Structure 1
Amino acid sequence: MKKVAIFGQAYKNTDRRYFDILIENLNKFNIEIIIEKDFVTILNDLGVQNLNYKTFQQNKDLDSSFDLLFTLGGDGTILNAATLVKDLKIPILGINTGRLGFLATVKKKEIENTIKSLIAKEYTIQERAVLQIASNDPNINFNGINFALNEVTIARKNSTSMIRVEAYLNDEYLTTYWSDGLVVSTPTGSTGYSLSCHGPIIMPESNNFVLTPISPHNLSARPLVVPDQTEIKLKIIGREKEFFLSLDSRVFTAPFEIELTLTKADFAIKIIQLNQQTFIRTLREKLFWGQDKRNYTS
């Protein structure tokens, strides 16, 4: 490991020392450090001094010379970091200064040991599938970022009225969801919004997507797991003029009657998983699985 990028967003003053620990341990191994420009501003506002490092601001500032990108924050920070690395194949490692952390799994107090594990190559790199979206409306350009690592969500905007989402799989009509909306998630996003709408948890290496309706009025509507090679077409119909369309944390306003096409992107986002922190262990820790006291009685 010779060169790394560091990215963060909202940052608390109480977390300053964890940034210092990260920098200190990277410097021990003479690793070149480049910090995202807006994050430097945040750190300066917190009183962090002597940030004499090169900066980057967008995808074109990065290249294959970077060994990895560290994020300081929660899962949302990793989702935004994915828009920076895009198809550059730079792996991401999240240090969790946020809350739940299904993606940002490195605990704040484990930074020093994490750097040692990285130097010793005690990790694997998971490739996480990405959803790509296209629209038949030329006025929607998604600001040049037409993909989602977690999910694509369709939701009603200014009305309590339900919306209709006509769904087609490989051009075959599936159903019309009468609901508050629809979540189409990747395996990575299966522990996000889809899960809160009673969708299934899917292992990261699974080759699937999930269609999960939001508060469906047709009670027979249930989450559906489909192969990730499926082309998903959605036509959104409602009484108002617009609905909300979100790609991970990026929210757009879109007109009704448009058609959206969702497919698997031709690139994946690489996530570093330390050998001691498996996805199954993360599920146990974050969802408190196995905590039933009957498991510990003789």
Structure 2
Amino acid sequence: MKIALNGRPLTDQTKAAIQALLGELARRGAEVQINDAYGQTLQEWGVMHPFTSLYTSRADLFDADFVFSIGGDGTLLETVTHVGERRLPIVGVNTGRLGFLATIKPEEIAQTLDWLENGNYSLDERVLLHVENDRDVFEGTNFGLNDFVVTKTDRSSMIVVHTWLDGEFLNSYWADGLVISTPTGSTGYCLSVGGPVVLPRTNNFIIAPISPHNLNVRPIVVNDSSRIEVRVESRSKNCLISLDSRSKVVDDSIRFTVRKEKFGAQLVKVKGDTFLETLRSKLNWGLDIRN
């Protein structure tokens, strides 16, 4: 097997898990490539790793059979940007906290590798957002798995987010901001601002205001073939924008268009790992003495 690895800074609790994974890969004779920044972290922590090469960008990432994301959900979102249009299968190992996207436990690594070698897995295709603007704010990595968010940069005043749907005016949201989410992102920031949980393959986007001034303004679900345009009006003349884990402060003269990306992300699912099971276990559904 050819395995690429990406991860976040280690802790005393996760060091043993990473070493165990690398040991398993070495025992199985896997060809390993590690993200350059992660490789440096492993060296600093004294973790031995039998890598054959390093990669720094999508251009020099080899044709891996699987790309392992070692960390939490934020690490997996970052890994999606490393893979991009190449659509390599991503395996999420959870050494973080919640692990809604990265669902494989460290103690399940050996069993997971057995399943991968024997073809006992499925690929869960997830829709990505594509964000267009006239200044290349995200420097070529203008796609995301979870959401695109516009928020205010100061504490005192709201912003107004003027929004169009397929060229038709939708609403001017007087609020702290606006979340445009994929179904995958519906269980993230979107959920915390009152949005619905949307199953991954329902071909929808969710538009959800953050702390709207008008309480009758509610989240809306639209088809993911839609083009959503936003323009911000702010007293401070700027706003904070974020695309998954990447954020920047920009001036409010920039207009953004959000649409479905031409390619998706492929998440590896192994035995018993389903979206509904994740809902029950991660959101504590069913923890009721009547069940």
TM-score bin, normalised by smaller chain = over 0.9
Structure 1 position 270, deviation (Å): 0.8
Matched, 1:97 2:95: yes
- Alignment partner, residue 166 of structure 1: 162
Runs of 4+ in 1 over 3 A off after TM superposition: 49-53
- 2:34 corresponds in structure 1 to 35
Q: What residue number does 1:108 align with? A: 106
Q: Which residue of 1 aligns with 2:116?
A: 118
Worse overlay, 245-254 or 22-31: 22-31
Q: Partner of 1:95: helix, strand, or coil?
A: strand
Q: CA deviation at 1:159?
A: 3.9
Cα distance per residue 1:225-258 (max 9 Å; x no partner): 1000000011111111210000111011111132
Structure 1 match to 2:180: 184
Return closer, same or farther for 1:51/1:66 CA change in 2, 3 Å cut-off.
closer
Q: Which residue of 1 aligns with 2:8?
A: 9
Residue type at the aligned position of 1:107? K
- Structure 2: unaligned runs, 5 residues or longer: none
Give the one of 262, 281, 286 matched to 2:282.
286
Q: Distance in 1 between matches of 2:253 and 2:34?
A: 43
- TM-score computed with the length of structure 1 as normaliser: 0.94
Where does 1:141-220 land on structure 2 (aligned, <5 Å)? 141-220=137-216
Find the aligned partners of 2:231 and 2:155 in 1 and give their Cα distance: 18
1:59 maps to 58
Find 2:74's aligned residue among 53, 73, 76. 76
Instruction: Output the CA distance in 2 between the equivalents of 1:53 and 1:20.
Output: 16
Once residues 76 and 49 of structure 1 are traced to their aligned partners in structure 2, the CA distance between those partners, rounded to angstroms, is 24
Cα distance between partner residues in 1 of 2:159 and 2:137: 23
Structure 1, gaps ≥5 residues long: none
Using the TM superposition, give the Cα deviation of residue 179 of structure 1 relative to its aligned residue in structure 2, in angstroms: 0.3
The alpha carbon displacement at 1:103 in A equals 0.7
Do the aligned partners of 2:22 and 2:49 also contact (CA within 8 Å) in 1?
A: no
For the Cα contact (< 8 Å) 1:40–1:51, is it kept in 2? no
Post-superposition Cα deviations, 1:117-172, rounded to whole Å, max 9, x if no partner, equal 11121111011111111124x3x431221111110000000242010011111011
Tell me the TM-score normalised to structure 2 length: 0.97
Q: Is contact 2:164–2:170 with CA below 8 Å preserved after alignment?
A: yes
How far did 1:188 drift? 0.9
The residue number in structure 2 matching 1:254 is: 250
Report the RMSD for the aligned CA atoms in angstroms: 1.2
**Stretch moving more, 158-167 or 174-183:** 158-167
The CA distance in 2 between the partners of 1:286 and 1:52, in whole Å, is: 33
Q: Distance in 1 between matches of 2:66 and 2:200?
A: 20
Q: Residue 204 of structure 1: CA displacement?
A: 1.1
CA deviation after TM superposition for structure 1 residue 29, in Å: 2.5
CA distance in 2, matches of 1:135, 1:237: 16
Number of corresponding residues: 291
Cα distance, 1:52–1:6 mapped onto 2, change above 3 Å: closer
Secondary structure of 1:106's counterpart equals coil
Distance 2:25 2:11 in 1: 21
